[in-house]
Structure 1
């Protein structure tokens, strides 16, 4: 019988009969039951033609339009349940391809993989397509199943070569799960010429790339768009296409169901089939939404979802299983930062240093492997590297699988409203949800805190979250926690095993306690978004610190003339601020007298005592050179910092540095410091004073050779000459630089060979007299910016024309315009020129500031003529 498959990402129902491999003890090894396979096949049949017309057209076109002298291998990849097999089979059966190939076969790879069985199925299918060979094929099939007749791989390979000799053929190899499988398969194929085609389906990007040498032959199948998902759902539930918008009681619940399914055809069809047999009322659909986890675990009608998605988890190596289950810590729809994740994994011990690779580099490879295996979804492209991804999300249903598995393993406990109060022993990771409102007794009774390795808080702070029993805590993540104030931080100093500590975006924090000097194991300290403007001396005791983030938030009181008495010497900050103390009672949270006094002593006085101090950046103590493992440091205020610059130049492992307060006074020392930071990959320099950076960066004689990211913020006037030598530069941000010669600047930047991201923000160029019509004309010349992929124009005042010559920016994918407010209404037809010629453009985004009709029509007309079909977004 033929071995072609009709279900998505599953073994064929026919194959299960043909192939029951024998285990080592002589017993039959069947990877799935026949009932399961029939259910899976039935679940996917109805999604064949809904929402996949475009993909089918693209696949047929890809198969037909091949050139060259080598055999094309086309790979289709994506997460389980997307319908890869369904799409490929639909393509396989298309009339255009049936007439194009003399021989065709579609075979699913079985588990465990047995090469002989695979070749037998392939040979039988190819033989059955010729009436002269059909009888021989039937005899061959019978004899090959007869244990008395031993047919070896060599004989099968010869038979396959005989069948395909001189034939134009198309072979579909469905569900390849490893490189080893593909190697075994392809080496036993006869030599086929370029008129033949092999199509592979797989869940993993790395396997797709391994099978298909050409990038253009790799096709990533995506989830269904909402409109197609709704149509598929209604057809399955009601057996016809109906307009659910006319049923307001159902449409809201349907939207929640489709959000859970997130465009996954398998889930839509399966859940739709279940609801088809239930009363079609909102209360029944609401029950499913509220108890989806329990339904996935216990409802046999939804078992196929758990089976298919669970297969992806089961196929992970052990180290990736731990990393994946760790993601159940984060709430639904949460965008998980890539950098946060790899640092947390490293702190947890999920990755370790191997030879010349750091633990973070190993963890980063784990992240990309999970992306490549479709276990997590890339949600945002990086602004730092054209090939990287900033953050990820977990598909809602995959997240349910993640939660089920992590609960079974006692790995993660999520403390949330309505959760079970049963004590769980040896839970490793505790996450407090934003909707939990329990008390101290409940908190301490839910889990055994002595085994907790990480605590993550989403929502409001409670004083009892830090317990003396948490002696093994390695990760404390309080990012964005509300109600957290200075006096709450004291007890954190007792957590001696902490490796990762984040109080990012906790804007009630102004000062760090001295007790944090005890955190000798700390590797990451993230204070970004807090109001800490000066680090205590104890920071230099943290000798294992690798990542230090701080100083990007200016204290609210930065104007001394408005809030400081004339005689600073007479101001007793702790005792002479009664009007501030009176306000404490009306403030939310646990802010107390100590916090107010701390604020005055450590923020207001230091800031106001030095009226010319750069308002941004954190002041660090002397002795930072002792933190020899530091890889990231910023934002550091170096206004009065000759000593700090001497410390920084001795941080030989530094990869990322951000400084503020660069001026003529310290520019020479700063420029010479850069020459010593040979490993620096990212540099941010800013100055908020009126004179800015004019002439301050010209003294850089030997910039870091590996510099990939550069941000310059502050009056620059002229572009430093050394920038044209940054051949490794990938990202450049020019912000408030007021450059005079924009034509010369664009010519220099256009020659940077690897520049992929260019952001021009807040008057990067000195605007001409707008009233006289003297406007900035940005021209991108032919062969300029060869690697540019992202161009952002944000409040570029006085901009009159953006022109792309034919052949300019050949790789530009994203173009974003955010106009200087009063300029938007002056943009007219012809403001953009050459949009139609941008061969790689995928997205054009405008921030809506009231453009004239002619401008918008002109932009849309140019984009409509662009053969790449870019998306137009008006936000």
Structure 2
């Protein structure tokens, strides 16, 4: 039934619903306005509880159907076995066992992967193949040329037509964001941070009612998830952000590639693909299998017009060209074969706003010409070997995000390099961090700064103290001589939400953080690395803290630590890593006496020999969903955790006696799953 505001059908529908009990299916609901129009035509049923089923439009239903817990039900896609059964029934008119035909099974799995459990796609493709020769070669031909089949074959065209409705229903700003994702290869896990920073650099978002451009870009990501245009991939327990990465459904990716090429938005250089371009290409992606030369590279695309360059696979020296005068995004994340001298030309890319060298492990320093990138907003050098920033970085006054490692484990690689190649540097650089030059305070727009070596002198701390817009800070090298100035610096950073503090040696952080009298009240994430003996008293007052991580803290007051952390009202994620506690014998992590950890959803015990057992008293950790441990630990009270969904155990413990743990989980009404992982 089609409804509009003037239709008599609205009144007729209302009368039907007054007399009968009905299941109402709403197809293709895409806006709050449409829902408001429909709900007005429904009679008020005070005793009824609405049950809302959805495939898309979760955001709309949450606004109108969530007054009753559990009233929103997401229709899940078919499981792998069910999808295969449906497929074979459609192709062969009966469910047959393809395991006996491995070549057919391989191609069937490729087809089903593209369908991703969607019954419409499975039935349509299965119906088409039922009329074709049932051979592996025929199915392989379909897999290899699925895009062309969607375009040319009327039987399969219905899938494209329906999927295009989802695309056509997107507002203009989301269409650009969706097509932009065709840059990434098939099955690629697309980091949320990466794509949101890139959208922001491309100018896809603008400030709206007090929200920053980055926050607006992140809201676009959430909206694409809600509309099922992208698939959630990696879930972060306890995080407000939820999913940290996504993938494109294979069929939706075909739509994205097709439309992006049609609009000359994205061109992908790949072996076997078309090298013909029409019009001006704005975004260039080089696939890992492309084997062309410089002549082909420069003749295929007008390099003077491209706005972004993304390289997957092996680096070639001609990829950065003097002609790229309008380039805004240079994404070389995990590019292999990239070395320092390849970066010399980047100083000519004066419009660059986003530069990623993430995972380029043969990069040791940035060129001085880096200081010419006056428009740069984001610099990602995570998992490189850059240990010192060039002096010219202080010229980049628009820089907002500097992302480096805050993993002190990286010290092994860097220290070895220093001792062999640059022995004098080993005395100057704190392992696992980056040395910044004086004058960093000029970068007033900085939002994220990690991980800064503050070992030598107070000048760098004076600079950081003036960066009052900082939301995320990671530092290493705190010690007795600089800790007072460091605590003074923290008290000035009133916007700080995330803090990592690291130190090494026997002294570690012992007594270094006690001088912080007024920690940032906005702090939501705190990670401490280094010997403490006991937690600083001010931690008990961090009522907004959501995440806590402790590494090598060697705390001696086990029960006192549990009491402090357990009383934090919003603590959702707790990571206890190597040597969190230092005790003569393995201790008991017990949550007795009081209802502790009221908001905890994730507890990680990572190689923590100081904890021999964990006890959950009834009433504690009522929201705990995931428990993860890597060393042999005994548990009690697992059956009393009302929200527990999953217990993950390191695979090395698979042969340990897990009978008691299994028995407790079996008694839990939630029936939590026990998983062994690498």
Aligned to 1:668: 484
Q: Please state how far the C-alpha of 1:605 moved relative to its aligned partner.
A: 4.2
Post-superposition Cα deviations, 1:93-151, rounded to whole Å, max 9, x if no partner, equal xxxxxxxxxxxxxxx556xx45516426x54xxxxxxxxxxxxxxxxxxxxxxxxxxxx
The 1:189–1:663 alpha-carbon spacing in structure 2 relative to 1, beyond 3 Å, is: same
Q: Is the 8 A contact 1:204 1:373 kept in 2?
A: yes
Q: Please state how far the C-alpha of 1:839 moved relative to its aligned partner.
A: 1.2
3-state SS of 1:403 partner: helix
The 1:654–1:241 alpha-carbon spacing in structure 2 relative to 1, beyond 3 Å, is: same
Q: Distance in 2 between matches of 1:196 and 1:499?
A: 50
Aligned to 2:10: 119
Q: Report whether the alignment pairs 1:805 with 2:617.
A: yes
3-state SS of 1:625 partner: helix
Post-superposition Cα deviations, 1:511-540, rounded to whole Å, max 9, x if no partner, equal 111111110000011111111111111000
Q: Please state how far the C-alpha of 1:222 moved relative to its aligned partner.
A: 2.1
Q: Report whether the alignment pairs 1:838 with 2:641.
A: yes
**Which range moves more in the overlay, 534-543 or 684-693?**
684-693
Post-superposition Cα deviations, 1:638-667, rounded to whole Å, max 9, x if no partner, equal 110310000000001100000011111111
Q: Is the 8 A contact 1:533 1:551 kept in 2?
A: no
Where relative contact order (Cα < 8 A, 6+ residues apart) is larger, the structure is 1
* Aligned ranges 1:752-831 → 2 under 5 Å: 752-769=568-585, 775-781=586-592, 782-819=594-631, 824=632, 831=634
Q: Please state how far the C-alpha of 1:266 moved relative to its aligned partner.
A: 1.5
The 1:462–1:187 alpha-carbon spacing in structure 2 relative to 1, beyond 3 Å, is: same
Aligned to 1:637: 453
- Aligned counterpart in structure 1 of residue 122 of structure 2, from 242, 259, 268: 268
* Aligned ranges 1:252-263 → 2 under 5 Å: 252-263=106-117
The 1:374–1:119 alpha-carbon spacing in structure 2 relative to 1, beyond 3 Å, is: same
Q: Please state how far the C-alpha of 1:185 moved relative to its aligned partner.
A: 2.1
**Which range moves more in the overlay, 786-795 or 801-810?**
801-810
The 1:848–1:434 alpha-carbon spacing in structure 2 relative to 1, beyond 3 Å, is: same
Q: Distance in 2 between matches of 1:464 and 1:294?
A: 33
* Aligned ranges 1:158-169 → 2 under 5 Å: 160=15, 165=18, 167=19, 169=21
Q: Distance in 2 between matches of 1:526 and 1:216?
A: 41
* Aligned ranges 1:423-502 → 2 under 5 Å: 423-502=277-356
Q: Distance in 2 between matches of 1:430 and 1:863?
A: 51
Q: Is the 8 A contact 2:573 2:602 kept in 1?
A: yes
Aligned to 1:205: 58
- TM, length-normalised to structure 2: 0.95
Q: Report whether the alignment pairs 1:861 with 2:677.
A: no
Q: Is the 8 A contact 2:231 2:249 kept in 1?
A: yes
Q: Distance in 1 between matches of 2:419 and 2:48?
A: 80
* Aligned ranges 1:398-417 → 2 under 5 Å: 398-417=252-271
3-state SS of 1:636 partner: strand
Q: Distance in 2 between matches of 1:705 and 1:524?
A: 26
Q: Is the 8 A contact 2:549 2:577 kept in 1?
A: yes
Q: Which runs of 5+ in 2 are unaligned?
A: none
- Aligned counterpart in structure 2 of residue 182 of structure 1, from 16, 26, 35: 35
Aligned to 2:426: 608
Q: Report whether the alignment pairs 1:506 with 2:360.
A: yes
The 1:436–1:672 alpha-carbon spacing in structure 2 relative to 1, beyond 3 Å, is: same
Q: Report whether the alignment pairs 1:556 with 2:556.
A: no
**Which range moves more in the overlay, 181-190 or 459-468?**
181-190
Post-superposition Cα deviations, 1:235-293, rounded to whole Å, max 9, x if no partner, equal 11111111111111211111111111122221111111111111111111111111112
Q: Distance in 2 between matches of 1:454 and 1:350?
A: 13
**Which range moves more in the overlay, 187-196 or 368-377?**
187-196
The 1:722–1:264 alpha-carbon spacing in structure 2 relative to 1, beyond 3 Å, is: same
* Largest Rg, 1 or 2: 1
3-state SS of 2:35 partner: helix
**Which range moves more in the overlay, 664-673 or 288-297?**
288-297
3-state SS of 1:849 partner: helix
Aligned length: 671
- TM, length-normalised to structure 1: 0.74
* Aligned ranges 1:361-400 → 2 under 5 Å: 361-382=215-236, 385-400=239-254
Aligned to 2:76: 222
Q: Is the 8 A contact 1:173 1:198 kept in 2?
A: no
